[in-house]
A = this chain, B = another copy of it.
């Protein structure tokens, strides 16, 4: 491919997230086009492909990767299917944007990482899209100026209106807090070395048997703490907040005060109801950044190492949730490729 030709993308998985990425690349992202999609549900794949001129539909991801004009792969299938697709993409040396989690456990994440190491160059960007959110980006930029001094603590709030029926207590850690695990690592530039999960009496609004909310405390190798309130049945909105406490000041994002009204005895604003509203721009930026970097032949975003480290933290988190204690995290040595 030349740098000027649009990037041909195969999108693996055409569920809610995959179909949205197809729409994004087709309508929002400049310089890319979807040339193939794959889904185990053939009808779904066909329906999504039909919206894009010249896009072919497949049931086998490998077939989509082999389709004409495929320069790169976006993986949005369920987590357990990621490993096979990633390895297939490596065989063809294709760049991949892989939705989080990289894979559903630390062992498989490590296998992916080792496969990429054998390839000898980075091919995977993991879909930690908060790094592309304008507010998180401002927080990171502010920290980098050094004005606030060294980071000491990070207080995170992560709230959803209601959890889907299949959500388990462990998934609050692996599906939701995984974002804070990455945000903590990325913002602070530290690795997480231990995790504790506290279990208040569940909310009456939580489904029977679901431990919701939870309060998670990460300890980092830089001596900082990062605490996370995860509350997936808060009822009132989708809210992601972070307050960074440093030696000379604090900074907070996520209040989202743009439109303020006065009505009927109340001032204030609306709270987003889901992540598509809150992080729409972040997703757009993420995909555009990946397209642009890919066309330049480089990989710049969250790496397989970031995906592996987040998975290792989440696995420890699930153990901490179940055992009620503090669980230490043991990472393999960081390969030079991810330095």
* A interface list, Cβ under 8 A from B: 4, 26-32, 53, 134-135, 138-139, 142, 147-150, 152-153, 155, 198, 200-201, 203-205, 213, 215, 217, 219, 222-225, 227, 229, 231, 234-237, 239, 245, 247-253, 255-271, 273, 281, 288, 292
The answer on a CB contact under 8 Å between B264 and A236 is yes
- Residues of B close to A53: CB separation below 8 A: 4
Q: Given A30-B29, A266-B271: A235 and B217 within 8 A (CB)? A: no
The CA of A264 and the CA of B250, in the complex, are separated in Å by 10
Q: Number of copies of this chain in the oligomer?
A: 4
Contact assessment for A249 and B224 in the assembled complex, using a CB-CB cutoff below 8 Å: no
Q: Which of B26, B150, B219, B257 touches A255 (beta carbons < 8 Å)? A: B257
Bound form: Cα–Cα A198–B257 in Å: 31
Contact A252 B263 (CB under 8 A): no
Beta-carbon contact of A263 and B147 below 8 Å: yes
Chain B nearest CB, measured from A326 CB (Å): 9
Known: A4-B53, A213-B153, A259-B135. A203 touches B247 (CB 8 A): yes
Are A262 and B247 neighbours in the complex by a CB distance under 8 Å? no
Nearest B residue (CB) for A201: B223
Q: A30-B31, A267-B271 are in contact. List 10 more A-B contacts (CB 8 A).
A: A28-B288, A30-B30, A148-B263, A152-B201, A153-B229, A236-B249, A236-B262, A262-B271, A265-B270, A266-B271
Count chain B CB atoms within 10 A of each CB in A213, A224, A262, A266 and give the residue with the most. Answer: A262
Residues B265 and A258 in contact, CB atoms below 8 Å apart = no
The reply to whether B200 and A224 contact each other, CB–CB distance below 8 Å, is yes
Tell me the smallest distance from the CB of A78 to a CB of chain B, in Å: 28
Judge whether A215 and B200 touch: CB under 8 Å. no
Please state if A229 and B147 are interface contacts (CB–CB under 8 Å).
Answer: no
- With A201-B222, A245-B213, A271-B267 in contact, do A250 and B258 touch (Cβ < 8 Å)? no
A266: chain B residues at CB < 8 Å are 236-237, 266, 268-271
Closest Cβ–Cβ distance, residue A249 to chain B (whole Å)? 3
| Smallest CB-CB A-B distances: 10 pairs | A268-B268, A201-B223, A249-B263, A257-B257, A30-B30, A251-B261, A203-B247, A250-B262, A138-B259, A200-B225
- Chain B nearest CB from A64 CB (Å) reads 21
Complex contacts, A139 vs chain B, CB 8 Å? 259
What's the minimum C-beta distance from A52 to chain B, rounded to whole angstroms?
10
A228–B274 CA distance with the chains assembled, in angstroms: 29
Tell me the minimal C-beta distance from A304 to chain B in angstroms.
28
The answer, among B217, B265, B268, for a CB contact under 8 Å with A267, is B268
CB distance from A154 to the nearest CB of B (A): 10
In the assembled complex, which residues on chain B have CB atoms less than 8 Å from the CB atom of A149? Answer: 203-205
Contact B250 A224 (CB under 8 A): no
Q: Are B248 and A265 in contact (CB under 8 A)?
A: no
Chain B residues with CB under 8 A of A155 = 155, 229
Q: CA A153 – CA B236 in complex, angstroms?
A: 16
Inter-chain contact B258/A257, CB cutoff 8 Å: yes
